[in-house]
Each structure stands twice: as C-alpha cells, then as structure tokens.
Amino acid sequence: MGKTAFIFPGQASQYVGMAKDFYDSSPEVRKLYERASEILGYDLADVSFNGPIEKLTQTAYTQPAILVHSLAVLRDMGDDYGEVEFAAGHSLGEYSALAFAGVLTFEDAVLAVRERSRAMQAACDAAEGTMAALIGCEGENLDNLVQGASKAGIIQPANFNSPGQVAVSGERRAIEKAIEIAKDYGARKAIPLQVGGAFHSPLMEPAREKVAEVLNQMQFNDSRIAVVTNVEARGETDSDHLRELLIRQITSPVLWKQSVEYMVENGVERFIEIGPGKVLSGLVKRTVRSADIGNIDTVEDLKKFKEFVSA
C-alpha cells in the first residue's frame, strides 16, 4: 500500500452539531472545548452544537469551530492511525495540519485562528470584496480572464481546487466583470459565492499584517512530518519557513489541486479527511480518480477507521 496523508478542511465545511458526538463521548474532547472557550472568550461548544447556522457561518465563529472539530477527532483518535507521511489543510485547515504535525500547540493554534478570523472579518468589513467559482476555465484562459476583469478592479485566482474548478477573489465590480465575461474564456459556469469577503486576495492585506504580528510572537517547531503548504504546494518541515508561508497564505492563492498532485507524485495513495464534511474528499476524487479516500467527521467514522487500521 502507498503512503497516507491526513487532510484538513477549511471554511464552508461547518454545520450545526459538528463534533457533538465526540464531545458527548470523550472527557478529553470536553476538556479541549473548555480550553478553547477560555482562549476564545465565548462558549465554542454552544456555538458549534446549537448554532444558529447564521452565527456559526460568521468567520469569527466558523474558523475556530472547524479547527477544534478537527483537533477533537485527533484527540479521540490518539496514536491509533498507523503511519501518516504527509499533512495538508485547505486554507484554515493548514492550522489543523500544523497542530497535527507538532508545529503548533493546541493553545497556540486556537489563539492564532482566533486572531486570524477576527482580522479577516475586519478586512472583509473594510472592503467591498467577494468571490466567484469558475468551472472549466484554466491555464492561459484563466490568465486572460483575470487580466480582462482587472480593468474593473482588483482580482486574482484564490483557490485552485480541482481540475477545471478555480475560485477568483477581489473587488466586487471586478468579480462581477469576471462572471460577465467568463464564457468568452472557456468557462462552462461562473457562480457567485456566498462569502463574507475577498479571501486570499490583496484585499486581505490588513489581515495578513495582523496575522504576521501574532504568528511572529509564537513558538513554531520543526514539523515531524512533511506539511504540504497552500502557498508552495510542496512538503515543508522547517519551522521558520512554515511560519512565513502561513503568513503569506492570507493574500495568496490556495494551490490545493497542485498540493494533491504533489502528494500523489510522492507516493500518497490514501487521503483521510479529518473534520467536518467531505468537501476535500470530493476535490481529491476529482483530481485523482484512483485515490483511496476516507473521512472522519463523526465517532462512527472514527470507529470504522480504527477497525480498518488494525485489520
């Protein structure tokens, strides 16, 4: 069997009730939520389990909720996961990957995400930005589309999610222009995204500066396994470089498709998504149809995974 990678979801995977079964069944997970709530200044368990969804979807709440869900799965899993050679996370999920890999402590990961979510929310409130998904527009066509739409304002590719699926991010008028002209550049669809702002674009520069202040004061450890980063789409273990890339991530495109391809080229055959939902599982499947994919969202999922690993 080939190598295994743990992958961690980002924003848009949240749902009311996420991780409640782990909380109800594990005293250790309850302690995690209590510690996270102390750091965050609000009851994370209440928001995660009871919502309402309108509140849980706000950046300042959803990012910590997804992070702690992923880390709750890991806490309940213990060391019963076999050999894992790579870790990667989509945007916010990179913080979960770094915590799994021993780069950040649980407390520092929660604190970093608290400040990241607040800074991103503030940047969203300060700028008229949004995002759109483009289906079937890649390579030179994408470059030309972005160049054409940039006449209306700031715009750049934000997420390379899977073959033929890219998100662009920027000022609202530029995104509207991109949607208007998308079919001229080969896109089959151009879909406005219901997001709070222009994530992974230059409009997040104020957030990048704030996140840099926070991360530069934190202890980063060298990673015990390779973390495949959003910014470079290759494995990294050096603590200083991982810190730099995490700061750059705020305004840089998420190279998820390229990250999956890198892991496959380096022998990964099994991808296990840790945390809420199956968004990344779907993206991996569209990128590498032969991949063996699993996800651990619930206690029942974890039970099946442990049975598989011990078989």
pLDDT tens-digit series, residues 229-255? 999 999 999 999 999 999 999 999 999
The answer to whether 88 and 97 are in contact (CB under 8 A) is yes
Given pLDDT bands bounded at 50, 70 and 90, which one contains residue 27? Answer: very high
The full set of domains in the chain, from first to last, is 3-125+202-310 (3.40.366.10), 128-193 (3.30.70.250)
Query: What is the structure's pLDDT at 40?
Result: 98
Q: Which of 48, 69, 70, 200 is catalytic?
A: 200
Q: Which residues have C-beta within 8 Å of that of residue 311, sequence separation ≥ 6? A: none
Query: What is the structure's pLDDT at 308?
Result: 83
Query: What is the structure's pLDDT at 311?
Result: 66
Residue 272: CB atoms within 10 A of its CB come to 24
Give me the mean pLDDT over the 40-56 stretch. Answer: 97
Least confident residue range of 75-84, 113-122, 147-156: 75-84
Q: Which of 91, 96, 252, 281 is catalytic?
A: 91
Model confidence at 183: pLDDT above 70? yes
Please report, rounded to a whole number, the percentage of residues in the chain having pLDDT higher than 70. Answer: 99
- The upper half-sphere exposure of residue 139, i.e. CA atoms within 13 Å in the direction of its Cβ, equals 4
Give me the mean pLDDT over the 43-65 stretch. Answer: 96
Model confidence at 79: pLDDT above 90? no
Query: What would the DSSP string read from start to end of the chain?
Result: --EEEEEE--TT---TTTTHHHHHH-HHHHHHHHHHHHHHTS-HHHHHHH--HHHHTSHHHHHHHHHHHHHHHHHHHTTTT----EEEESTTHHHHHHHHTTSS-HHHHHHHHHHHHHHHHHHHHHS-EEEEEEES--HHHHHHHHHHHGGGS-EEEEEEEETTEEEEEEEHHHHHHHHHHGGGGT-SEEEEE--SS-TTSGGGHHHHHHHHHHHTTS--PPPSSEEE-TTT-SEE--HHHHHHHHHHGGGS-B-HHHHHHHHHHTTEEEEEEESSSSHHHHHHHHH-TT-EEEEE-SHHHHHHHHHHHH-
Given pLDDT bands bounded at 50, 70 and 90, which one contains residue 34? Answer: very high
Model confidence at 309: pLDDT above 90? no
Give me the mean pLDDT over the 78-105 stretch. Answer: 96
Query: What is the structure's pLDDT at 245?
Result: 99
Model confidence at 196: pLDDT above 90? no
**Is 91 considered catalytic here?**
yes
Give me the mean pLDDT over the 245-269 stretch. Answer: 98
Average pLDDT, the chain: 96
Model confidence at 112: pLDDT above 90? yes
**Is 200 considered catalytic here?**
yes
Give me the mean pLDDT over the 127-153 stretch. Answer: 97
Model confidence at 1: pLDDT above 80? no
